[in-house]
Every structure is written in C-alpha cells, then in structure tokens.
Amino acid sequence: MGPLFLMALIVIIDSDLTQARALEGALAGLRHRILATQSAARGIELAQSGNPDLILLNPENSQMDGIQILASLRKDPITKEIAVALVQRQPDAALLPRLRQLGVVDTISPGLTQDLLRKKILQSLVLAEKHKLDHNLKRANHIHVRRTPGRTDISILSGLKEFSFQEAKTVLNPFFVRLTKNDSMVLDIRAIPNINETELPLLQQIIDLVANEKLILIAGRHLGLLIAETEIGETVPTFFTQEEAEQHLSAR
C-alpha cells in the first residue's frame, strides 16, 4: 500500500446489516476509520462531508440501486472522483464499461473469508490511490473559483504540496484579493485527499493570501487535524459540512 493509506477513511453503504458488519470486522485492528450506513442518502452525505478514500457499496439497496447511487456521487464536485468498490459477485460483463466510467475500481465478493476480505479491501484501497493520482495528474486546474453576487467560493481539489499550493499563489493574486475584498468567501478543502502536519503551514499561507475578514472554511474530514494542530479555527469560522457553513452564512 502507498503512504497515503497508512490511515484511510472508508465509507460503507450497505443495506445488508450482516454484510456491512462483515466488512467492518475485516478491517478491525487496522488504523483505518470506517463509517458505515444502511441508508443510501446518508452514505452520499457521508461521502460529501468526509471525502473518503474509498466507498464500499452494495449496489442492491432498497432506496436507490447502485447505478443511481453512483450517478448521485458523480454529480457532486466533492464526490465525483471518489473510488468505489462494489460488494457483489462479478457484475454482468456488459455493465463493466459503464461502471468504470462511474469510478468503480474493484469488485469484492461478499462470500470471502475474513482474511481474504481484508486483503481484497486493502487491494481496493491501492487501486483507489492510483485512481485518485491519475485524476490529479490529468486535472488542468487544482483550484476552482466561483463568484456570485456578494460571494466567492474557492475549492481546493488536489493535494496541497504536490499540486495546489503553487497554483494558489497565482490564482489568489493581489488583483483577486481587491476584487473580492467585500465578498463573503468560502474556502472548501474537503476535496483535498490528505493533509499531513507538514502541509498545515501551506494551508495557513493560502488563508493569508485570501486576506478576507468574511472568510469561512469547510474542512470535512480535515476538521479534527485543524482543531488539534492549528489555531485556524480560532481566527476563521470552520465547519465540517457545507450545510453548517450555509447556515452560518444565512445567519449573518
């Protein structure tokens, strides 16, 4: 396994409680963080807020079928590139091209022993890491800026050190700062795959480049790290989900 997955975040969406527990049990004792739900809608919400490294999805869901869940994930800019492993026996070969287009990197048979299930999930994580890196390398821009009247949204889409920091110094230039100084500004870092402690100063420099008193931050899975290792939350209102951020903006 690559270094990104010394501790990964995995979301399990499986309406079969027994099967979901088997997946969780296969990963017991590892450092990975597991979020499991039987609800398709809740699973999509967890993916949007947490930007997991891998989603384990049982496509036979009572609320939405697998294709609908995958399509919903691909519509959201935060979740559209998250790798998915289907927890089912090998799907129909005719579906494979469509599943690959929707970010399915692997298929995991639910009938495996716990040891084999663990090995297969870890293999899927390696494929997920490659999937993520391929998308980062192909991406033309690693920072997305969207302006609406009175508001600017900045989304960082790739790793800070490797991709986004140098681009930030170009995009968040003095002209940009003057143009947006009176806007409410949202900095969304949920799509960053991982942030290690050595990269936290880079994030602080990006915040300093923005220099906006109305700035708020959507941190997603990185919230705990920011609280534990930085003082960013004391100077910039910081939220776990976009919904929390929107409520804050509405209350202003």
The CATH number of the domain covering residues in 3-138: 3.40.50.2300
pLDDT at 91: 66
Instruction: Report the chain (252 residues): mean pLDDT per 10 consecutive residues.
Output: 64 92 92 92 93 92 83 90 88 74 88 92 93 83 93 94 93 93 95 91 95 93 94 94 94 86
Residue 133: how many other CB atoms lie within 10 Å:
16
Domain residue limits, the chain:
3-138, 143-251
Report the run of H or E that residue 162 belongs to, with start and end.
Answer: none
Asked whether this chain's domains 3-138 and 143-251 adopt the same fold, the reply is: no
Both tokens assigned to 20: 């979901």
Give the pTM.
0.79
Strand order in the sheet with 184-188: 143-148, 151-156, 184-188, 215-218, 238-239
Q: Class of the 143-251 domain?
A: alpha beta
pLDDT at 1: 38
pLDDT at 61: 77
How is 20-75 classified by DSSP, letter by letter?
HHHHHHHTTTSS-EEEEES-HHHHHHHHHHH--SEEEE-S--SSS-HHHHHHHHHH
- Percent composition of the chain: helix, strand, coil (DSSP 3-state, to 5): 50, 20, 30
